[in-house]
Chains A and B, each alone.
Chain A
């Protein structure tokens, strides 16, 4: 059973556009929601993370929007660049463990 559901599976965006990736979860014990970026042949790298006590967090061109009642969170990449082309994973963690549960990933391609 997929505890964190991610969509879309792939995304094509033009340079300068907004990329939006969505995730949904069921377990209300989750209290930490990071987004990771992974380039081919590399390990995932943390982009930005949020806790349920805030509805939005912004770092540069990356924003997480969090909807606690809907149990959904999303990553917005503003002014998308070709260098953003990578696979993005959402993840979640419960308060009583350090185990990260990852979504299935979204392959983003940004064309010039």
Chain B
């Protein structure tokens, strides 16, 4: 399968713990995105990268959230000192920038986080 993959698929943690999620984009896709989706809502943008550069970060994103894409391939999203309100599905997507446009974003299956 050559789609976007995410690991783990499910994570249960206690409030106050740190968690880290990994995303592997479609091979050769140079843009990578993180979204968060809560039950009954549409995905909400968190941040995105072009290669290893973080181009945009949501103003809603707390300082407890950090994302990296160190070698321009896979990305990690870390949440420090988790809170119950962080419980959500974390979605990763990737796209290929070409001719100044990279419209189609391909989503992975997501990581479901439950904070107890």
| Chain A residues within CB distance 8 Å of chain B | 6, 32, 34, 36, 41-46, 49, 89, 91, 93, 97-105
Q: List 22 A-B contacts (CB under 8 A).
A: A6-B42, A34-B104, A43-B4, A43-B107, A43-B108, A44-B43, A44-B91, A44-B107, A45-B107, A46-B105, A49-B104, A89-B43, A97-B56, A98-B56, A98-B105, A99-B58, A100-B33, A100-B45, A102-B43, A104-B40, A104-B41, A104-B42
- Pick the contact of B91: A43, A97, A104 (CB < 8 A): A43
Min distance, Cβ B5 to any Cβ of chain A, angstroms: 11
User: What's the Cα separation between A42 and B4 when bound, in Å?
Assistant: 12
A93 to B55, CA, bound (A): 15
Please give the distance in Å from B114's CB to the nearest CB on chain A: 14
- Determine whether B65 belongs to the interface, using a CB cutoff of 8 Å to chain A: no
Q: How far is the CB of B82 from chain A (nearest CB, A)?
A: 22
* CB atoms of A98 and B43 under 8 A apart: no
Q: How far apart are A24's CB and chain B's nearest CB, in angstroms?
A: 14
- On B, residues with C-beta under 8 Å from A are 4, 31, 33, 35, 40-45, 48, 55-56, 58, 91, 93, 95, 102-110
Q: Are A99 and B56 in contact (CB under 8 A)?
A: yes
Interface contact B102-A98, CB-CB below 8 Å? yes
Q: Identify which of B45, B55, B102 gathers the most chain A CB atoms within 10 Å of its CB.
A: B45
In the complex, the answer to whether B43 meets A99 with C-beta atoms within 8 Å is: no
Asked if residues B41 and A34 are in contact (CB atoms below 8 Å), the reply is no
**Of A43, A91, A102, which is in contact with the most chain B CB atoms at under 10 Å from its CB?**
A43
Q: How far is the CB of B86 from chain A (nearest CB, A)?
A: 19
B48 touches A99 (CB 8 A): yes
A98 to B110, alpha carbons, bound, how many Å? 19
- In this complex, the member of B43, B48, B91 whose beta carbon has the largest number of chain A beta carbons within 10 angstroms is B43
A42-B41 contact in complex given A49-B103, A98-B102, A99-B56, C-beta closer than 8 Å = no
Minimal Cβ-Cβ distance residue in A for B91: A43
Candidates A43, A97, A99, A105; contact of B42 at CB < 8 Å: A105
**Does the CB pair B42–A32 fall under 8 Å?**
no
Assess whether B42 is in contact with A103, with CB atoms less than 8 Å apart: yes
Q: Is the CB of B44 within 8 A of A102?
A: yes
